[in-house]
Structure 1
Amino acid sequence: MRGKALVIALATAASIIGYAPAAGAAQPGGAQPTVAVALGDSYISGEAGRWLGNTDTVGGSSAGTDRAWNGSTVDPTRVYGPTYSSGCHRSDVSPLSGASLGTDRLVNLACSGATSANVLPAAMGGVPFKGEAPQIDQLATVAGANRVKVIVLSLGGNDLGFGTIIASCIEAWFWGDYCADDQQATVDAALPAMRSGVSQSLAAIRSTMRAAGYADTDYRLVVQSYSSPVPRGANIRYADSGWTRWDMGCPVVNYDATWVRDRLVPQLSTELRTLASAGGAEFLDLRDALDGREICARGRIRVTPAKAPSDVTAEWVREFWSSETEGRQQETFHPDAYGQKALSRCLTLLGAAAKGNYRCVNTAGAGVDGMRLAAA
């Protein structure tokens, strides 16, 4: 059964790496509403916002963790709205939707699975994705009908093939092997294309906004990075052998988990900070935002009917999906509802801070309200 589940899971695991308010019309009196806009991939679209931690309980409300449960059946549109069917998965707790950025409205244009090709405007070779126009073309429409004050971009993970990397590490665990060395070579080979895609996207955002009548100083442009979905190997609470890690949703060997946490994610963060600086954007470093709250991290618990979901004790990352798990596979290893609320808090703190580069971290023993901002 587990072998079959692995095959099913790996078939779409490469997609590892959505419900947007309408842009709206001008307010009475001719004043345009101010907006903050999210662009990019699943890490800001709201992927996995359906879940309040992880549980072994299957069916119904999944011990209270499934926000799609309406009391009689499961309805994921309660969380993802109309973007559930398309797979963009813009959740109602996406990082932007919960942030307070001093604007009248929040517009989420990000889509789960998007690459730079789906962000770039059509005039620069951008292509539609999941039935939607390239995101910067959508941004142009929003910018014309509103006053854009903040743009937050999450991009690069899918260009780098993050989902395929994780799938390879899961497969390696299954066969008693490890993935880090081979996948580090894959990452290094993919970096030039990733750099080009993110750099072009930042330049296209600036040129699109200028064409809409904005000066670069009229709005804040922020590039955010990613957090590790798994802790260091030594901080995984289950033994590095047997089937427990599969059953608990974290089938990665210690060596690979440490590589993801201490090499892959920091490397991507460093690259994105460099690209943000070159593109005249601010940088929000999220590499440590979920530290200690990852899937299978020591000190976290799986929710049970006797232990209600809590942002203080639960995991903030969605477990690995298999055919024995509820939800959709593309939710795998993304921040869950708690993780996204934490990232929302990071954006709120950034909005209240002076322009600059920052890192966001959590506070041990606290919930999502314990997120803190520090100079990067």
Structure 2
Amino acid sequence: MVVAVVAAALAAPAGAHAGPNSARTAIVSLGDSYISGEAGRWQGNSINAARDRDGTDRAAFDCTVATCSYDPGRVYGASATNGCDRSDVAEIKSAAIAVDQKVNLACSGATTANIFRTSKGGEAFKGEPPQGDQLLYVAHASNVKLVVLSIGGNDLGFADIIQACATAYLTRQPPCRTSQQQVLDSKFGAAMRNVARAIDEIRAIMSDAGYTQARLVVQSYPSVFVRASENRYAENDPAQRAGVGGCPTYDTDADWARDSVVNQIANGLKFVAVSKGVQFLDLRDAFQGREVCSKSTRQASLIQPPSPTTSEWGRFLNQSTVAQGVLQEAVHPNAYGQRALGRCLRLIYGSFSRGGNCTNVAGQGPNAMRLAPF
């Protein structure tokens, strides 16, 4: 049975298996939380637990002088129920690409095993069929102009790495970088091979739906956390760095995550994409200067409301994360970041290069993102 997200996104096709001959056009996103729209509920960060959290909580409504009601479904729709968290400003939704349908099949927490069709060993996830099975339906129902894939981070256990590094800092254990680099390296080869298999699977799905050519973009991950030298909170002040800022890492671990882990993953994904002949959208520097705790950003307050030009573009990680929302939203692009990624997708859609590096312009909003082809 086709899941509700597909049925809601697409009405019954005008003709069976219309596919590339359909008059209705579509673009589709597949993958994990970094493209599903996790943390899209938030625009900037604030430690204020009251009302609309200084304007950062897009799920707040019916606010009075003292309180607000909250409904994550206002942002994530029906996917708030199962935790796929497909936001209304997710990359595929924010991209200014002129098509009839923008279909978000990505799901927070997904791995490459959730991309393959059931017939190819794919696994259902959070009560939904594998994304490949859903893509096949969409590809039959509409003329799919683009498929964009963000996958691999959960195969590498990226969330566990973040947890280990945060725990090390908060409990004053030694830095995490040495032990976690070993963990990353032990999983890296298999993860990249599975990304390559996912690309092959998507191509096979599109071929089975009648496409002689299908455009596929594979993207990397933006860094939500900041380098040590650019952090506005001192390492020796955990009450501020962790409790307020929401970036609980040692300086050495922050630099390792920003300049080693992010680059290792991006380089691996780029190698796979180029070797498979698909476009690669390099997002490793997309949030430079917009990261959580960056000196060039600030948290929202009663007198300084959130803004796409001054606020952080990622969700922070501290007690406020859980008090205001849910932990799985932490360390993900927020609404501002997702709109920026949507602009990046639009730029590469208009490019016929092998790929490009998408970056922001200091002091400007998501619409000012730039793509440098390579």
TM-score by length of 2: 0.92
1:24 Cα offset (Å)? 2.8
Secondary structure at 1:341's aligned position in 2? helix
Picking from 67, 70, 75, the partner of 2:61 is 70
1:184 aligned residue = 181
In 2, Cα distance between the equivalents of 1:221 and 1:156? Answer: 16
1:355 Cα offset (Å)? 4.2
Equivalent residue runs for 1:26-175 within 5 Å: 26=13, 31-72=22-63, 73-175=69-171
2:66 aligned residue = none
Query: Deviations 1:48-94 (Å, cap 9, x if unpaired)?
Result: 00001001211211111000001240011000000001000000000
Picking from 326, 333, 336, the partner of 2:331 is 333
1:365 Cα offset (Å)? 1.2
In 2, Cα distance between the equivalents of 1:105 and 1:82? Answer: 18
Equivalent residue runs for 1:359-374 within 5 Å: 359-374=357-372
Secondary structure at 1:283's aligned position in 2? strand
Equivalent residue runs for 1:243-322 within 5 Å: 243-247=239-243, 248-322=245-319
Alignment length (residue pairs) = 357
1:8 aligned residue = none
In 2, Cα distance between the equivalents of 1:82 and 1:144? Answer: 24
In 2, Cα distance between the equivalents of 1:255 and 1:325? Answer: 28
Contact 2:32 2:111 in 1 (8 A): yes
Runs of 4+ in 1 over 6 A off after TM superposition: none
Amino acid at match of 1:203: D
Query: Deviations 1:181-220 (Å, cap 9, x if unpaired)?
Result: 111111110012201211111111111111111112xx31
Contact 1:25 1:146 in 2 (8 A): no
Structure 1: which 5+ residue stretches go unaligned? 1-17
In 1, Cα distance between the equivalents of 2:365 and 2:79? Answer: 28
In 2, Cα distance between the equivalents of 1:374 and 1:245? Answer: 33
Query: Do the aligned partners of residues 98 and 339 (structure 1) sit closer, same or farther apart at CA in structure 2, a change above 3 Å counting?
Result: same
Report the RMSD for the aligned CA atoms in angstroms: 1.7
1:19 Cα offset (Å)? 6.7
Range with bigger deviation, 240-249 or 20-29: 20-29
In 2, Cα distance between the equivalents of 1:194 and 1:321? Answer: 29
Contact 2:164 2:176 in 1 (8 A): yes
2:340 aligned residue = 342
Query: Once the two structures are aligned, what percentage of the paired residues are identical?
Result: 45
Amino acid at match of 2:142: N
Secondary structure at 1:300's aligned position in 2? coil
2:197 aligned residue = 200
1:11 aligned residue = none
Picking from 229, 241, 245, the partner of 2:236 is 241
In 1, Cα distance between the equivalents of 2:313 and 2:120? Answer: 37
1:244 Cα offset (Å)? 1.2
Contact 2:348 2:355 in 1 (8 A): no
In 1, Cα distance between the equivalents of 2:91 and 2:34? Answer: 8
1:277 Cα offset (Å)? 1.6
1:353 Cα offset (Å)? 1.7
Query: Deviations 1:276-303 (Å, cap 9, x if unpaired)?
Result: 1222211000000001100000121110
Range with bigger deviation, 87-96 or 237-246: 237-246
Query: Deviations 1:294-314 (Å, cap 9, x if unpaired)?
Result: 000012111001111101100
Structure 2: which 5+ residue stretches go unaligned? 64-68
Contact 1:19 1:90 in 2 (8 A): no
Secondary structure at 2:140's aligned position in 1? helix
1:325 Cα offset (Å)? 3.1
